[in-house]
A and B are shown apart, each in its own frame.
Chain A
Amino acid sequence: MRSLRLAALILLAAAQQASASGRLVARPVRLARRTASHAAQHMVMLPAGRYRPLYAPPGAERVAVAAFALDREPVTAGAFLAFVERHPEWRRDRVRRVFADARYLADWPAATDAGALGAQRRPVTQVSWFAARAYCASLGKRLPTVDEWEYAAAASERATDATADAAFRSRLLALYAGLGRQTAAAAFVNVYGVRAMHGVVWEWTLDFNSVVLDDDSRATGSGADARDRHLYCASAALGATDPSDYPAFLRHAVRAGLGARSSTSTVGFRCAADMVIS
């Protein structure tokens, strides 16, 4: 049943993608095979579309996002524990320091103990970008790009893009100010079926800081400039597509503050997957 439903979703997404790109014929779309069964359970298909990034490339206020699949919820501590057990090189007592700082999983009672069941159901935090990336790869997935993440996060329960809605913004600010006070289970599910994009944990993205893809972010020399170009003082408002989109600024600042080894109590992640057109 599940896989039938997944197939239907995929076709739907394909149709939407085709119409978005102006093609008339829907092409079959599928996820990489080893992701498929996992995806049916844990992932949601998002159709191709456009969204308005905080800092848009010159000449285009909205950028295109291809169809992709995204985890319904942030990865839980329990799921991450299973990963660590399968891949002991990611245990906190074995991880290489270049891949995670000293606070990596430091809140766990032990290297292979993520705490009581309640704690295991919560989103995992204190994981580095490297570890998050490895987790996703172990399931044939990857981290979502900033564009994908923001595209999914722009949705409210009813609208695919609620970012210009003052009430939605205000709600996000309140959620962020109380980050972690609400559980993922209590967080709202958006119109795509994605839960807890706001106010539970901040989330890693593949290209959270453009430096990271060039070097492993241990270097701060030339990268530091690009990284905080927009980050301090009123100059942050220069070039922003909407200087009143405070929630977007907050997310931007969070990403900019992170290095790829950073393991903090407020940052978790979820995975994404390509939709492969065959």
Chain B
Amino acid sequence: MFDFLSFGKTPEMIKKRKTAFVRVQRFNPDEDEKPYIQEFEVPMTPETTVLDALQYVKTELDGSLTFRKSCRHAICGSCAMNVNGSNDLVCHRNLPESLDKTGVVTIKPLPYLPVIKDLVVDRTSFWEQYKRVKPWLVPPEDAPEKEFRVSPEEVAAINSAETCIMCGACYSSCQVIAMGKDYIGPHALLKSFLRVMDPRDTIPGERLDISGGEDGAYRCHTIFNCIDACPKNLNPTEAIETLRKLAQRRIAFEEERAERQKTLTEAAD
């Protein structure tokens, strides 16, 4: 057989190779009545990722196994799945470390979303909520010739929110989402937080009406699942808390923003 995983890898790595038992949830709505688990035996090295394993199955054993992938280094957000009961990006997840004592890893699609095929889920509601919070900045009408002045501290406050890759791991771990898709969800609330906190944004009040409102921050039960699920170690719960507090003092916050924007083109201290 073509030695896919070790092709181009070093001899020591090949020597140490063992195999893993990869259990994957399969479901093609055109053919199957309900989802079922299928097990594949996959060779591995200490560096094999769970994505490598899926890729091996697809290439060597069953080309119909379906999953999303692209960047393979945890930046595009394509490959979030449920591995051994918790959500993660399979491209940065080490396979040997994911095995139980019997050498098994179980991979399922992200929970609480309709399955399109195998590990591919339908994220329509996820993207609708993202759009609902108006993820775009609405800057002041008169742009300066150069940049708006934003201090490193102001950047630090929103920096981590900006690194969200919209993979959906948090969304699919959220108990509130499990109960209903009208909740905005941690991903979109984090985005809303990013915009609300950005000194350049001119509509924080309007944003707080949505994200601080009934379908937003108030719905969060602070169960912290999103924090545990986030493969980028972000903290949506804290952002949601901030939105909730700001919504309570919306008018004052809008005034502070208007005040801040008067000096947006002046050097920060």
A binds B: no
Q: Which residues of A contact B (CB under 8 A)?
A: none
